[in-house]
Structure 1
Amino acid sequence: MVSFATYLFNPSYHLKMAHYLLLWFLASSYLHTSVNSCIDEERRALLTFKEDVTDPSGRLSSWVGLDCCQWKGISCNNITGRVEMMNLQNAYMYTLSAFDGDWDEMEYSSLGGKVNPSLLSLKHLNYLDLSKNDFRGISIPEFFGQIKSLRYLNLSSASFGGEIPPHLGNLPNLNYLDLGEESDYSLLELPSENLNWLSRLSSLKYLNLKGLDLSNTGVNWLNVVNMLPFLVELHLSSCQIQSLPPPGNISLASLLILDVSFNDLKFPFPEWFFNLTNLRKLDLRGNSLSGPFPIEFESLKSLEHLDLSFNSLKGQVPKLRGSFCNLKILNLAQNQFDGGIQELLGGLSSCPNSVLESLDLSSNMLNSQLPASLGMLRNLKFLTLYNNNMNGSIPESLGQLSQLVHLDLSFNPWEGFLTESHFINLTRLKYFAVGRVDPNPILPIPLTFKVSYDWVPPFMLHKINIGYCKVGPAFGVWLQSQTKLLFVKLRATGISDSIPEDWFLKISSQAQYLDLSYNQIHGKLPLQLKFSYALILDLSHNQFHGPLPLWSGDNVVRFKLEMNSFSGPIPWNLDQKFPKLESLYLAENHLNGTIPPSICNMRNLLVLSLRSNQLSGEFPREWSLLPDILILDAAYNNLSGKLPSSMGALGSLFLLKMNNNNLEGEIPLSLENCTSLRNIDLGDNKFTGKIPSWIGLNAPFVSILRLRSNFLSGHIPQELCNLENLHILDLALNRFSGTIPKCLNNVTALKLWNPLHIGLQ
């Protein structure tokens, strides 16, 4: 048996014991700090801060308990337990959309109120981010200038206002300062000492003053910035800068990124600007730059990103020979460049190894063919030639751009064919656009997809945008295989095939936009589908038949099925299927039955188009439930009974077309509330009573008034003479008495008016 003494004098035993003791010590230390890692004084300071902050969405609801280091947005030092970071940026991403409530959601998730000085108790705080919140114009707290440990301060897009406290210049360790405003307009103002406080931030590497008015600073802003020896990144977008200061002792040797976009800068630039030879990114978009591309830009040989979009540059697209071999992103969109891009591509491809990844030449006046040398840009990921006048055939060398992700060739009059060779190596392609994709093009373009029906492309697109060029007649395998689509527009593409139900089923789970309009697609649609993310569903102007599909979508705002051959009744529960619907187009089908009352529960409805069907029965009585309806077109049906007395009660109607039905009774008096009416057509019905005088008094913008073929009687009201915008007046085939108001001859806008049809003098 091994004695205790053997262990006692065994070196390996002692080594193992030392390891066990060390592990025990580390574990107990970890447990100790994890339980008591939050300093009590700092925890109380944070709770005091929380008391003064408004938090409608409960983002700080985790701020309970003893361990503040576990609270959302708070980070502590692992050893000392001191609070080092407060990241309270509003993480809600606002996407500018006309169709949803993103702005309300962002406001709801924003912090506001006051910023309590209790934060001064956080002696080791080096990171403070309050960006993208809403402090409703309150001043930036002066005490921020006393938090000497701060290295990172982000107050951007948080609606702080008033003068910027110069006390911020007392932060010697600050590396990052962001006071920018995403809306391009800042509530902040410069203090009386102008920007001199900035010069004391000797450690600053990042500065963003976007939206701050610097128009009255003269050369001061440049002199101050020049005193920041370590500045790497400078953002002065939308600062109302009208010119760059003249030559001086300007170095800015450390500057790598310069953004002076959306100001009022003009050429020529001073010499010091072109001595910024270390620049990697230069953003000059949205200024007042005009004339040809300055040759002096060739001195900026380190540039990787150059943006000159949204200016008025003219002449040939620059050659960019030799000096721009480091360029990864080039944006010359929204200028007035003309000619071709042969020399540009030649210059870029002359580099030993072109690294260009993004080329945007959209919305210029380019008017030549696309050269085959395009295929030499093997690293290209983003290419857009949108909205030019480029013509001829598209070269097959396009298919060699194996890194390409985004390709937009739309709004150019291409001709010829797109074949499988054009796409042979585009394995990464996610976005593809070609043709005229505007709603009302002048003519289709003579471009045809010439691929075999069974061709399976090497890509899986997320967005396809093709309009007014020939893809059909078949809905081939290359389209059927695209089942990951978020955005689909195949408008007027000559498809006269049926589409497999399985394709609709696969894209419905993620599609946000679906437009297959103006084709000759036939067959039945899947009866039930849920489009969880879709905003727009447009299958109008096709040859679909069968019952209306019982589709649904919580976010759908526009549903267009007009000009097909659908039959049967309108589903009774559309309000539940599409709770946010704003536009419903079912015109020119073969629908029958009554208009379901549930349509009046669609509180967001702006447009209801039911024209040219076989609908019967009375119009729903619950009309007053639609507060914002603008357009109602139920003409050319078999509707009967009276119009609801509540029609127009909320005054939003812009266009009312109920002609060619069997409606009776008097024109509802409640329509007098609709002061924005432009078009009233109640002709070819059985209305009785008089023409209401409110049409000339309360609806001054009416341009079309058509009441023909009814049983209206009485005098034609003099008030109609007040309709200065009246183009068409048709009162024929009624039972009026008296004389025609002579003042109608003074309505100079009238284009169609024949008093003989009324039967009066």
Structure 2
Amino acid sequence: MDLKLKLRPSFFLFSLVLILLLKVPDFVSAAKPKCISTERQALLTFRASLNDTSGRLKSWSGPDCCNWSGVLCDVRTSHVVKIDLRNPVQDVRSDEYERSSLRGKLHQSLTILKFLSYLDLSSNDFGGLEIPEFLGQIVSLRYLNLSSSSFSGEIPANLGNLSKLESLDLYASSLRVSNLRWLSGLSTSLKYLNMANVNLSGAGETWLEDFSKVTTLKELRLSDSEIKNLPLSLSSSANLKHLEVLDLSGNSLNTPIPNWLFSLTNLRELSLRWCFLEGSIPTEFKNLKLLETLDLSNNLALQGEIPSVLGDLPRLKFLDLSANELNGQLNGFLDALSRNKGNSLVFLDLSSNKLAGALPESLGALRNLQTLDLSSNTFTGSVPSSIGNMASLKKLDLSYNTMNGSIAESFGKLAELVDLNLMANTWEGVLQKSHFVNLRSLKTIRLTTEPYRSLIFKVPSTWIPPFRLELIQIENCQIGPSFPMWLQVQTKLNYVVLRNTGIEDTIPDSWFSGISSEVTYLILANNRIKGRLPQKLAFPKLNNIDLSSNSFEGPFPLWSTNATELRLYENNFSGYIPQNIDVLMPRIQNIYLFHNSFTGNIPSSLCDISGLQILSLRKNHFSGSLPNCWHRQFMLYGIDASENNLSGQIPESLDLLPSLSVLLLNQNALEGKIPESLQNCSGLTNIDLGGNKLTGKLPSWLGKLSSLFMLRLQSNSFTGQIPDDLCSAPNLRILDLSGNKISGPIPKCISNLTAIARGTNNEVFQNLVFIVTRAREYQDIVNSINLSGNNISGEIPREILGLSYLRILNLSNNSMAGNIPEKISELSRLETLDLSRNKLSGAIPQSLAAISSLQSLNLSFNKLEGSIPKLVKFQDPSIYIGNELLCGKPLPKKCPKDIK
């Protein structure tokens, strides 16, 4: 008989199960529900009081509550010990967050759970209800989190009954505390307390003493809590010696940094940002040897130099001193850091201060630094070559300084660099391939300098870099004339600014189509880029398109986009504006197409863009009538269709634009009268209708436009007299009625033009900046009156001398008679005076010589007589010709007294 048994695998499996059953007596009963019935019923009652629209508590229906979502039971006793119902969606701005929030109210059935040690209801929406007092009866709690759940009112004092509580989070914006004495009940257990955003203004001046009674406290967060007073000293009974984290940021403390902080030698994190702290940074920070995070940013008033002792702190990893008044140089602080063998600093932000001097070579000793922000100071000089030693650097921001040197070639060693910002300095020199060759992690580059492009990119045109950028902003640097390969391969861009970079090349269609569909900015302005744009592209997130001041040609790009700004001005675009522009660009607000060669009608679909604010079409070849369909643009405040071939009448429907401020339709072929309905646009500030075929009398209602700054109606066929009502325009600074058929005298009420009389309203180009170059065009005619080329009769009214801020006065080519006012020198700011081709008589006033600002004078072709005054600046005879009775220099005719 064979004693060797062949045992089957099933025998071993059976044996294993038998052993497990013997070893674990409860194994058989493991499939039975663990849940204690009274606790299950308590949870169901609690569930019934909640509104769960997202179905997060759908599992709360089976027999075993220990298996319900968010519920945890003790494995031995089966008692419920943990309820975690925090909102799984933490982005409060998202719709999903709202849908995932529990609502309703909290039921006191939770008090039945005698062994509950953990309760988290954070980030839900309990609609402003007060925190229920029964929570203070669950004395088994060790962890309670009610943060960001829309509770309001007074925090119940009986939370002080939770004598075992170790962590309490009440972060909220609608809770308040009248006293903090209840904290003494947590004095031997509480380690973590977050009352950020809780209003502690009613807690009195003893608030810090009350917190200090919690002797076990390790972390205290009280940011944005309406604390107004920070004691400069603590009583001997105060005990915060175990505190490791203290956050008082966002409170208006308005004190120096108190000395008692430096006795908290266990501090790892100290945040005092936005506290309006005053004075200097104390050297006593050297006592906080364990400090890892120090945030004193945005206090605005901290002064003095950065103490070198901060560089000696052996564990410091995060230092933010931004947005203060710190001054001096960095040498002492950085030298201390470089000597600190335990230096582990990974974040340093010193931006928005008054720090100065050159960046020292010791900067390179910060080998662990990942973020360095020195922006918005007054640093000078070059970037030190030691920058290449900062092998861990991921973000570098030197923007908005006065650095005027070169950029070190050692930049090319920063293989971990992701974000580089060198904007708004005065860089010079040459950037070569070696500056970029190892920047394999680079995602963002911002580099701008002064407009004369003294910083030059000199890399091989065929070089392909190791990085793929997501953001590029380069301005006033020489990249061109070619569009280099290192730019052509950047197809992951979602933000593009290449302004004034000297590119004169064409850009391949593949580059435009290869840009990320996530692109938000596309700015290629002030180059000489040639060629046509791809006709059909979709950029759903594009906010701003600026291709202005280039040499692009071809038709209007049919890009589907949600952009709010389109700048194509100063190019060679031609053809029509698409009739469906309202569909292609439904969110467009500002359209700048001036200085191109567009033709055809101005499409009426522009009237259907409800958010349109600015329409600038100047200097094209548009024809036909201006659309008469304006009805939905409640924000449209600027229309410039000047210097085109428009005909027909000014649309009546313009009066339906309640925000219309600027209307520039000059240099067209418009005819008819100015519509009466336009007076409904009471906010008009700038009107230019010159160079058309308009007729009729000057509307008297123009004087009712209280904001009117500029009125130019020159070179039309207006008739009648200047209405007295026009003198009622208090802000009028430019009046041009020249080249019409206006008759009658200048109204004596002209002195009522108070803006010219008193120099008020100094916003010289208000609402004109949107047309870019128009501000420059009108700059030289501010505070001017031009009535030339009409049939105006009568004398120059003495009242005009009250316009003491008048710079330009042109009354030429009229039928005016009488004398030039003797006291004309009262126009002491006059720069141009043209009274030529009238019937003025009498002597030239001697007081003209007293107007020191006068640069241009023309008195020719009148009936003036007598000796020409000694006007040193005006020795051109053409100024005086056509006055037969004038004599003296510079005319050849001598006066009788000079004849010997």
Q: Smaller-chain TM-score range?
A: 0.7 to 0.9
State the partner residue of 1:99. none
Contact 1:430 1:462 in 2 (8 A): no
State the partner residue of 1:365. 354
State the partner residue of 1:515. 523
Residues 1:489 and 1:27: Cα distance change in structure 2 (over 3 Å): farther
State the partner residue of 1:224. 210
State the partner residue of 1:127. 119
Matches within 5 A, 1:269-280: 269-280=257-268
State the partner residue of 1:115. 105
State the partner residue of 1:283. 271
- Structure 1 residue 258: Cα displacement: 1.8
Residue 729 in 1 paired to residue 716 in 2? no
Among candidates 636, 642, 657, match of residue 635 of structure 1: 642
- Structure 1 residue 222: Cα displacement: 0.6
Residues 1:446 and 1:345: Cα distance change in structure 2 (over 3 Å): farther
Contact 2:111 2:135 in 1 (8 A): no
Residue 667 in 1 paired to residue 652 in 2? no
Matches within 5 A, 1:519-530: 519-530=527-538
In structure 1, distance between residues paired with 2:689 and 2:210: 70
How far does the alpha carbon of each residue in 1:7-37 deviate from its partner, in whole angstroms, 9 at most, with x for none?
Answer: 89x98464244389899x9899679799x9x
- Structure 1 residue 322: Cα displacement: 5.5
How far does the alpha carbon of each residue in 1:456-485 deviate from its partner, in whole angstroms, 9 at most, with x for none?
Answer: 444443333333344444443333343333
Contact 1:499 1:521 in 2 (8 A): yes
Residues 1:732 and 1:557: Cα distance change in structure 2 (over 3 Å): same
Residue 308 in 1 paired to residue 275 in 2? no
Matches within 5 A, 1:467-506: 467-506=475-514
Letter in 1 for 2:642: A
With structure 1 as the length reference, what TM-score do the two structures score?
Answer: 0.84
Among candidates 694, 700, 711, match of residue 705 of structure 1: 711
- Structure 1 residue 303: Cα displacement: 1.7
Letter in 2 for 1:244: P
Residues 1:454 and 1:204: Cα distance change in structure 2 (over 3 Å): farther
Letter in 1 for 2:670: L
In structure 2, distance between residues paired with 1:637 and 1:694: 28
Among candidates 568, 581, 593, match of residue 574 of structure 1: 581
Letter in 2 for 1:404: L
State the partner residue of 2:72. 77
Report SS of the residue matched to 2:387. Answer: helix
In structure 1, distance between residues paired with 2:166 and 2:320: 30
Contact 2:382 2:408 in 1 (8 A): no
- Structure 1 residue 121: Cα displacement: 7.3
Higher relative contact order (CA 8 A, sep 6+): 1
State the partner residue of 1:164. 155
Residues 1:544 and 1:410: Cα distance change in structure 2 (over 3 Å): farther
Letter in 2 for 1:575: D
Residue 261 in 1 paired to residue 256 in 2? no
Residues 1:116 and 1:332: Cα distance change in structure 2 (over 3 Å): closer
- Structure 1 residue 228: Cα displacement: 2.2
- Structure 1 residue 624: Cα displacement: 0.7
Among candidates 193, 199, 207, match of residue 207 of structure 1: 193
In structure 1, distance between residues paired with 2:18 and 2:348: 63
In structure 1, distance between residues paired with 2:410 and 2:57: 57
State the partner residue of 2:661. 654
Residue 190 in 1 paired to residue 190 in 2? no
- Structure 1 residue 87: Cα displacement: 1.6
Contact 1:633 1:656 in 2 (8 A): yes
- Structure 1 residue 223: Cα displacement: 1.2
Residue 426 in 1 paired to residue 415 in 2? yes
- Structure 1 residue 107: Cα displacement: 10
In structure 2, distance between residues paired with 1:568 and 1:323: 68
Contact 2:171 2:195 in 1 (8 A): yes
In structure 2, distance between residues paired with 1:121 and 1:694: 77
With structure 2 as the length reference, what TM-score do the two structures score?
Answer: 0.72
Contact 1:171 1:201 in 2 (8 A): yes
Matches within 5 A, 1:499-648: 499-554=507-562, 556-648=563-655
Matches within 5 A, 1:278-357: 278-310=266-298, 311-320=300-309, 323-357=312-346
How large is the RMSD of aligned CA atoms in angstroms? Answer: 4.1
Report SS of the residue matched to 2:357. Answer: coil
Unaligned regions of 5+ residues in structure 2, if any? 427-445, 757-782, 794-900
State the partner residue of 1:97. none
Residue 387 in 1 paired to residue 376 in 2? yes
State the partner residue of 1:45. 46
Residues 1:28 and 1:366: Cα distance change in structure 2 (over 3 Å): same
Residue 235 in 1 paired to residue 188 in 2? no
State the partner residue of 2:396. 407
In structure 2, distance between residues paired with 1:323 and 1:628: 58
Contact 1:87 1:129 in 2 (8 A): yes
How far does the alpha carbon of each residue in 1:237-258 deviate from its partner, in whole angstroms, 9 at most, with x for none?
Answer: 3324243342323332332222
Matches within 5 A, 1:126-145: 126-131=118-123, 135=127, 139-145=130-136
Letter in 2 for 1:49: L
- Structure 1 residue 568: Cα displacement: 1.8
Contact 2:448 2:476 in 1 (8 A): no
State the partner residue of 1:754. 786
State the partner residue of 1:55. none
Letter in 1 for 2:275: N
State the partner residue of 2:693. 686
Contact 2:241 2:266 in 1 (8 A): yes
Report SS of the residue matched to 2:491. Answer: coil
Residues 1:271 and 1:706: Cα distance change in structure 2 (over 3 Å): same
How far does the alpha carbon of each residue in 1:299-338 deviate from its partner, in whole angstroms, 9 at most, with x for none?
Answer: 1222222222222233333324653232222222222333
State the partner residue of 1:251. 239
In structure 2, distance between residues paired with 1:642 and 1:151: 80
Residues 1:758 and 1:235: Cα distance change in structure 2 (over 3 Å): farther
In structure 2, distance between residues paired with 1:371 and 1:662: 66
Residues 1:91 and 1:715: Cα distance change in structure 2 (over 3 Å): farther
Letter in 2 for 1:190: V
Residues 1:492 and 1:87: Cα distance change in structure 2 (over 3 Å): same
Unaligned regions of 5+ residues in structure 1, if any? 52-57, 95-101
- Structure 1 residue 651: Cα displacement: 0.9
In structure 2, distance between residues paired with 1:387 and 1:417: 18
- Structure 1 residue 584: Cα displacement: 2.5
Residue 744 in 1 paired to residue 732 in 2? no
Percent identical residues? 40
Contact 2:744 2:791 in 1 (8 A): no
- Structure 1 residue 392: Cα displacement: 1.8
Structure having the higher Rg = 2
